[in-house]
A and B are shown apart, each in its own frame.
Chain A
Amino acid sequence: KQEVTQIPAALSVPEGENLVLNCSFTDSAIYNLQWFRQDPGKGLTSLLLIQSSQREQTSGRLNASLDKSSGRSTLYIAASQPGDSATYLCAVKENTGFQKLVFGTGTRLLVSP
């Protein structure tokens, strides 16, 4: 059974710092991996999607990498801003059956001014 773990569970940094969020998964048979942002009490906003054949994706100050063989992904946020404060969730789409998304429990990020 696929399990997704995110470390750390919470992170607090000063504005301007570069930071890395980690995601690990137990079964490397994935179709893709998606990073989401969730603001308190809100839905999920998709940030980046990496196909299983890709190594990284970039969007603005965000860069996500994928090492499928080791079951790891990282989300790098450059020059963090207070507006980046949110919970970041990673989810893998399984490569079996209906390819459902399996989520981690997220990293709660606080960027202080």
Chain B
Amino acid sequence: DAMVIQNPRYQVTQFGKPVTLSCSQTLNHNVMYWYQQKSSQAPKLLFHYYDKDFNNEADTPDNFQSRRPNTSFCFLDIRSPGLGDAAMYLCATSRAFELYNEQFFGPGTRLTVL
């Protein structure tokens, strides 16, 4: 089945220790998104890739970076995680500018920072 896959599902890191979260998709969608969702809050867009073009949200901290080596994969790098970065990280994909333009989400990675 075509889908969005995130690894790992649960990640524990130490304060200040870099961590990388992974997302892959078999939908062949040209847009990939990373959202941060803290407990009982709405998902918040961090950035997205439209093909190879990277688009950062204005209020995304510099501590968060992303890489998209090819259409299928996208990575979220947190350079120096703080306690406030503990959250669920959601990856999503879509086809840009199609009529229905639906976003499809992965299962998420829950990040714990000790």
Contact = CB atoms under 8 A, between A and B. Distances in A.
Interface stretch (A14-22, A59-67, A73-81, A103-111): A103-111
Nearest to A46: B102
Contact of A49 (B100, B105, B106): B100
Interface in A66-113: 89, 93, 98-101, 103-106
Interface residues of A, number: 23
B107 A42 contact: yes
Contact of B42 (A42, A43, A99, A104): A104
Residue from A41, A43, A44, A49 whose CB has the most chain B CB atoms within 10 Å: A43
Contacts of B6: 43
A93 B94 CA distance: 12
A49 B55 CA distance: 24
Interface stretch (B43-51, B62-70, B76-84): B43-51
A31 B101 contact: yes
Interface of A: 4, 31-32, 34, 36, 41-46, 49, 51, 89, 93, 98-101, 103-106
Interface of B: 6, 40-45, 48, 50, 55, 88, 90, 92, 99-108, 110
